């Protein structure tokens, strides 16, 4: 079964940092691009970042560029999102999702990041 499990969310003060992880199983992780998508409470989906299968290509939304860093470890079947200089507007559930069919499938269950003093 293809599965993605996020971890690392929590409560952090404005200006702080957090590192999210996504553990993948049930598929050849190194063959797929991976993505982070977030959803603020009661709001819609927002694409955050994408990384190609070999980490050669990396993309960020303008809202996080310069503050967030996506990375992956194909040997550990893991995806990461290092989040620095966090702001209140970064509060959201963060999902990791496999890139396939020029879309996102499947999605993990999400991890909640709350930025508040």
Partner 1 sequence: QSALTQPASVSGSPGQSITISCTGTSSDVGGYNYVSWYQQHPGKAPKLMIYEVSNRPSGVSNRFSGSKSGNTASLTISGLQAEDEADYYCSSYTSSSTLWVFGGGTKLTVL
In the complex, which residues of this chain contact partner 1 (CB under 8 A)?
A: 35, 37, 44-47, 50, 59, 61-62, 95, 97, 100-110
Phi, psi of 61 (to 5 degrees): -70, 150
Q: CA-to-CA distance for 24 and 97, rounded, in angstroms?
A: 10
CB of 53 to partner 1, least distance (A): 15
3 and 24 in contact (C-beta within 8 Å)? Answer: yes
Indicate the residue among 97 and 113 with the shorter CB distance to partner 1: 97
Q: CA-to-CA distance for 84 and 103, rounded, in angstroms?
A: 27
Indicate the residue among 103 and 117 with the shorter CB distance to partner 1: 103
Indicate the residue among 37 and 115 with the shorter CB distance to partner 1: 37
CB of 1 to partner 1, least distance (A): 12
Burial (Cβ within 10 Å: 0-12, 13-18, ≥19) of residue 88: exposed
Q: CA-to-CA distance for 69 and 65, rounded, in angstroms?
A: 8
Indicate the residue among 56 and 102 with the shorter CB distance to partner 1: 102
CB of 32 to partner 1, least distance (A): 14
CB of 105 to partner 1, least distance (A): 4
């Amino acid at each position: 079964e293809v599965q993605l499990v996020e971890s690392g969310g929590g409560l952090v003060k404005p200006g702080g940092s957090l590192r999210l992880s996504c553990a993948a199983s049930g598929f050849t992780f190194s063959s797929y691009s991976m993505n982070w998508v977030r959803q603020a409470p009661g709001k819609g989906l927002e694409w955050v970042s994408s990384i190609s299968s070999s980490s050669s290509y990396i993309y960020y939304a303008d809202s996080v560029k310069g503050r967030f860093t996506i990375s992956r470890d194909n040997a550990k079947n893991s995806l990461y999102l290092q989040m620095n200089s966090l702001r209140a507007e970064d509060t959201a559930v963060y999902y990791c999702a496999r890139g396939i069919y020029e879309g996102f499938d499947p999605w993990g269950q999400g991890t909640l990041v709350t930025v508040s003093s």
